[in-house]
Structures are given as C-alpha cells and as structure tokens.
Amino acid sequence: MHIDKHQITQHNEQLEVSHRRRFMRLADELPNAEQVIGRLVDFEVAIPSWALGTGGTRFGRFSGGGEPRNLEEKIADIGVLHALNRSSGAISLHIPWDIPEDYAAIRSLAQQNGLVFDAMNSNTFQDQPGQTLSYKFGSMQHVDKAVRKQAVEHNIEVIKHGIELGSKSLTVWLADGSSFPGQLNFRKAFQNTLESLQEVYEALPGDWKMFVEYKAFEPNFYSTTVGDWGQSLLYSNKLGDKAYTLVDLGHHLPNANIEQIVALLLMEGKLGGFHFNDSKYGDDDLTTGSVKPYQLFLIFNELVEGMDNRGMDHTNDLGWMIDASHNLKDPLEDLLQSVEAILIAYAQALLVDRVALVEAQAANDVVRAQELLQQAFRTDVRPLVAEARLRAGGALNPLQLFRELDVRGQLISERGTKTTATGL
Ligand code: PSV
Ligand code: MN
Ligand code: MN
C-alpha cells in the first residue's frame, strides 16, 4: 500500500477553495499566523510500532484485519500516515517485538518512506521465549543480581540495534514494583534499579539520551519502583546529563496537574521525552485529545513557555511520541486523529499572548489570565493546521482521504483479515 503524490494533489484540489476561504479569514485575525504555520510544518511526532494493531484488553482483542505482520509492514503503515499528514516521520521500535533482521534493508525501507528511527524501547516486563530467568518479581529491581544482569544486558542489546538503525535514544519503562505491602524493601529496590540503570547508562553512546519513563501503577498495584516524576527525576539526576524524565500522559494518579510537572521538569532541564494519549481513569491509552483537550492545551502551553524560556528547539530537543492503542477504532485512523489533536493543541499554545499573560500574572489579574488562555484555546485553529500540512505536501484532510482511498480495504486484501500485529 502506497499513497501517490497525485492522489494527494487531487484531494487537495477538491478542498482547496473552501479551505482557502476559512484560512484567510482566520489568518487575518491572528498576529502570528505565518510563524505558527512554520512551527507546525517543522513539528514531528513519532509513531510507536505497537500502535498499528488493534490494542486488546485483558478481556479480549478484536482484530480489524490488515494489520502489519512484521517490521517491514509496520514501516509501510507509518509511511502511509506520514504521506497523508507529513508530521509522522519517525518510528519508535520495541525490542524484542521488532527485531530487525537486515539493518541495511530496514534502514533503506524507512528512508523510502521518509522515516527516521526515534527512541528504542526495551522490554523487561515480559518473559521472552528462551529467556533464562523470569521477570515475575521485577527486572532491574530484582533481589537476584543475575536477573538484574539479564535486564541490563537486554537494554545494552537494544542500544546496539538502535545504533545500527540511527536511533539516538533509549526509553526504559520498568514494570518493577510490588503488589502487596511488605513484598519489597523500597530502598533496596530503588538502589538495585539505580545500579542497573547506571550500567546501561555506561553503555550509552555519547550522543544518545536515556529516557526514564515513570508510571503510577499497573501491572503492580501497591508500589512502582519508578512510580512518579519525583522518582524518575531522582534517577535521571543521579545518572547524569544524558538521562531525562519521560512523561506519559496516562501514567499519573487521577487529577494530577501534569502541566505543572512539565513546567518544573523543563525548568530543571530534565524533561526529555513525551508519550501522548488520553484517559478517563488510568493508563487508558485512548486517542490523544479525545477526553481532555483543554488539559492537552494547558500542557502545550507550559511546553511552549518552558522551551522558549530555555531557548530549546521545539521539534528536536524533546522526544515526541504517541503511545496510544485501543480496542475499537482502525488503528491508523486513530493515529491520524491523535496527530491532528497534538497539532491543534500546539497551535493553540503558540497563539497565547505571552506578554499580556506575564502582565496579568504580575498584577494578580486572575480573570484576565484565564481569559488569555481560553481565548487561545477557543480559537478554531484547524485551518492553520491544514494549511501547514498543505505546504508540507500532505493532505488537507488526511482522515477523509484515508477513507476515500479505502486504505484499510487495500491492506486487508494485501495481508488478510486474520492478522495480529506483534506487541501487547
Ligand atoms: C507502559 O504502560 C507504556 O506506556 C510504556 O511506554 C511501554 O513501553 C508502552 O506502554 C508499551 O507497552
Ligand atoms: Mn508510554
Ligand atoms: Mn502506558
């Protein structure tokens, strides 16, 4: 399955007149439309290899068919997304779900699809076939040094795959923790984990970053050894300059103020990576922006403010990735929706009148501060996002074109109905 340039051009020609009308009206009202469009054109968010198949729950999985059966097909799927929206030009792999057999062939396939390799993800939360020791009671925290060593070696292996593919970062998410009080000595679990992470850190190339991802609960339900941003920050501070905290939007306790967390991590120069999704309850991994779009905007508001304050490059200085997957929608349509929601929230954050906000804050003008944020949030920026996509060579309406071209139907005829993408 491949999308041709002329299919995109044809689609754009059909929509162009009404798009231009809406775009001109909006651009006319905004002081910085061109600047926002430039930022949107540059923005890229990585797609994880495991989001391309229908996600399951522990109660069942309902495959939609045409799912990618190997790494090559996963790259092809992300190629389709990127051709449509020009903002998904990176893939994040999970080892051992995506072990590349022929590096040169995989690299060249990615290149043909306009993709680079984003963060590599290790997996010590599942036992793999042929593995000697079990992670049932944790990996890097384990009471047995031999299990910890196995986990460290796996992570070093992942780095090696990443070097071959041109990746520049390793994301470590650990399921380590305990499910019952008394099961674990918290301090020893922390120390063991730190020591293991240090060994992995030693193997990190000079130009790589390590992202330490935290999560409040699940699969352990009493304690998690990298359970919140405080613990992640402790690890990354102790590890060194190449280690950063990774924020996954679904990994907090209910009502956590994620925008404040983001602001402080940026202030400390320790925010490294981001996993986008949305949730109502826990780590629901729903489509980004589908449940709490205002929160997503508030997070982007802090990201923009914090990155500008530190002179950071919006596109390259943080690792942006979607980490969502669920049971109901076509996974590719879902990802198109997530990317759109991310770009909308980003564009809205770029519209905030920062000078006026600083003045309102200095004057304790609470009402004015709120108005300024909501003025930006309530602006319908979709024509700006579409214009950026048009200028970058993408489709004015990626989801509509995806359906018009019957991409899923074509994938099903190529791959069949009984497909299971590798992953969770
Ligand atoms: C864990 O819930 C997580 O968010 C981590 O990023 C994993 O690597 C990913 O999901 C895939 O299971
Ligand atoms: Mn995640
Ligand atoms: Mn998660």
Cα gap 406→332, rounded to integer Å: 12
Q: Give the model's pLDDT for residue 410.
A: 97
Give the span between the Cα atoms of 327 and 238, in whole angstroms: 39
Q: Which residue, 327, 358, 253, is CA-closest to 55?
A: 327
Q: Any idea which ligand is nearest the CA of 322?
A: 2
3-state secondary structure of 121: strand
* Residue nearest ligand 1's atom 9 by CA: 323
Q: What is the pLDDT of residues 74-98, one digit of tens each?
A: 999 999 999 999 999 999 999 999 9
pLDDT at residue 358, as a whole number: 98
Measured CA to CA, the distance from residue 43 to residue 4 in angstroms comes to 22
Q: Helix axis angle, 293-309 relative to 258-267, nearest 10°?
A: 10
Domains of the chain by residue range: 5-415
The CATH class that applies to domain 5-415 reads: alpha beta
Lowest mean per-residue pLDDT among 43-57, 147-161, 255-269, 297-311: 43-57
Q: Which string of DSSP letters, residue by residue, matches 137-198?
A: T-STT-SSHHHHHHHHHHHHHHHHHHHHHT--EEEEE---EESSTTS--HHHHHHHHHHHHH
Its sign, for the CA torsion 349, 28, 41, 393, is positive
pLDDT category at 140 given cuts 50, 70, 90 is very high
The predicted structure's pLDDT at residue 416: 92
* Predicted complex ipTM exceeds 0.90: yes
Q: Please give the pLDDT value at position 195.
A: 98
What is the distance in A from the centroid of ligand 1 to the CA of 80?
23
pTM score: 0.97
Q: Which of 245, 248, 251, 286 to mutate to test the pocket of ligand 1 (most atoms within 8 A of CB)?
A: 248
Nearest CA to ligand 1 atom 1: 173
Spell out the SS3 assignment of 264-319: HHHHCCCEEEEEECECCCCCCCECCCCCCHHHHHHHHHHHHHHHHHCCCCCCCCCE
16-71: pLDDT as tens digits: 999 999 999 999 999 999 999 999 999 999 999 999 998 877 788 888 899 999 99
Q: How far is the CA of 394 from the centre of ligand 2 (A)?
A: 27
CA atoms within 13 A on the CB side of 370: 3
- Coil, helix or strand for 47? strand
Average pLDDT, the chain: 96
pLDDT digit string, tens, across residues 251-288: 999 999 999 999 999 999 999 999 999 999 999 999 99
Confidence class of residue 228 from pLDDT cuts 50, 70 and 90?
very high
Does ligand 1 come within 6 angstroms of the Cβ of 333? no
Q: Which amino acid is at 368?
A: R
**CB distance 265 to 348 below 8 Å:** no
Whose CA is closest to atom 3 on ligand 1?
173
Average pLDDT for residues 129-148, to the nearest whole number? 97
| Ligand 1 site, residue 252, Cβ cutoff 6 A | no
| Dist CA 238 CA 147 (whole Å) | 22
CA torsion angle 133 138 141 143 (round to 10)? -60
State residue 421's pLDDT score. Answer: 66
pLDDT band at 324 (very low <50, low <70, confident <90, very high): very high
Residue 423, pLDDT score = 58
| Ligand 2 centroid, distance to 275 Cα (angstroms) | 5
Q: Which atom of ligand 1 lies at the shortest distance from residue 50's CA?
A: 11
The pLDDT assigned to 98 comes to: 95
pLDDT, tens only, 391-424? 999 999 999 999 999 999 999 999 998 776 655 5
- Cβ contact 291:280 at 8 Å: yes
Ligand 2 mean position to 286 CA, how many Å?
12
> Given pLDDT bands bounded at 50, 70 and 90, which one contains residue 382?
very high
Q: Is 215 in the pocket of ligand 1 (CB under 6 A)?
A: yes
